């Protein structure tokens, strides 16, 4: 029978490295996903994943067994990502590495699922780059993580109304940036 998270945490607290390994292997993919979406590049996301599990290991005594380990870990990952972004002052820097913003009206190659996917990646990365740290974090937490507005507000340290407006601004910016490509894609298909 597979060990539950709570049982693994309990054994990890007693110094069982294999139990902690189980937790890492079970949750690292999801943590990498949220870290990659928040930081926008793989290298930073790798660092966030490492830091997240190191912090979790150090603070494992603080984890309450009635809580959900995945939620607790995600919160640590979000804080690590925010720390990294703040430390680097990333709002002026590129999100997602070097991105060439393509003109949607240019001569697109033959509709090819893989080619479109790669192209869309660049467009989305360019659009995400235009978001501020708070906008990107609020959007990722709301859109991908399904986190309630109140909780996002607590994470970012802002009021509920301000959180809602941050999410609205993020979505509006994405729509303005990506709408032409949506139409172009719809025309091509």
Partner 1 sequence: MQHLNDEDLIAHHYRDTDSSEHLRACADCRAQYETLRSVLALVDAVPVPERDPEQIWNRLRWRLERRRRRTWQWMMSAAAVLAIVFVAGAWWREGQRTADSGQRVASNPATQQLSNPTTQQPNNPGSNKVLVYVVTDHLDAAERVLAEVANADPKKGLDVGEETKRAEDLVDANRIYRQTAARRGDARIAALLSDIEPILVELSHSGAKLSPDELASMQKRIDSKNLLFKMRVMSAQGEGQQHNQNVLASQHLNSL
Is residue 21 within 8 A of residue 11, CB to CB? The reply is: no
Q: Does 32 bind partner 1 (CB under 8 A)?
A: yes
- Please select the residue that binds partner 1; options are 1, 2, 14, 29, rule is CB under 8 A: 29
Q: Does 167 bind partner 1 (CB under 8 A)?
A: yes
In angstroms, the CA 159 to CA 14 distance is 39
In angstroms, the CA 171 to CA 34 distance is 18
Pick the closer one to partner 1 by CB: 35 or 82. 35
Q: Does 92 bind partner 1 (CB under 8 A)?
A: no
Query: Phi then psi for 59, rounded to 5 degrees?
Result: -105, 15
Query: Phi then psi for 141, rounded to 5 degrees?
Result: -70, -35
CA dihedral 144, 150, 155, 157 (to 10 degrees): 140
Pick the closer one to partner 1 by CB: 82 or 125. 125
Q: Does 174 bind partner 1 (CB under 8 A)?
A: yes
Is residue 101 within 8 A of residue 123, CB to CB? The reply is: yes
Q: Which of 101, 165, 177, 100 is nearest to 139 (CA)?
A: 165
Q: Does 115 bind partner 1 (CB under 8 A)?
A: no
Q: Does 149 bind partner 1 (CB under 8 A)?
A: yes
- Please select the residue that binds partner 1; options are 48, 49, 84, 85, rule is CB under 8 A: 49
Binding site for partner 1 (CB under 8 A): 17, 20-21, 24-26, 28-29, 32-33, 36-37, 42, 45-46, 49-50, 53-54, 57, 117, 120-121, 123-125, 127, 142-143, 149, 164, 167-168, 171-172, 174-175, 178-179, 181-182, 185-186
């Amino acid at each position: 029978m597979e060990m539950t998270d709570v049982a693994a945490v309990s054994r990890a607290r007693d110094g069982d490295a294999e139990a902690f390994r189980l937790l890492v292997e079970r949750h690292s993919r999801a943590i990498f996903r949220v870290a990659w979406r928040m930081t926008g590049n793989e290298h930073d996301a790798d660092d966030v994943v490492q830091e997240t599990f190191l912090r979790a290991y150090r603070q494992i005594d603080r984890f309450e067994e009635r809580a959900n380990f995945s939620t607790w870990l995600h919160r640590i990952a979000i804080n690590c990502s925010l720390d990294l972004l703040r430390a680097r002052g990333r709002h002026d820097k590129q999100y997602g590495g070097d991105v060439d913003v393509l003109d949607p009206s240019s001569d697109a190659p033959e509709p090819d699922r893989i080619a479109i996917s790669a192209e869309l990646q660049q467009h989305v990365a360019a659009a995400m780059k235009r978001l501020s740290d708070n906008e990107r974090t609020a959007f990722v937490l709301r859109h991908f993580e399904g986190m309630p507005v109140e909780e996002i507000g607590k994470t970012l340290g802002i009021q509920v109304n301000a959180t809602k407006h941050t999410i609205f601004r993020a979505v509006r910016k994405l729509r303005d940036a990506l709408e032409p490509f949506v139409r172009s894609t719809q025309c091509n298909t």
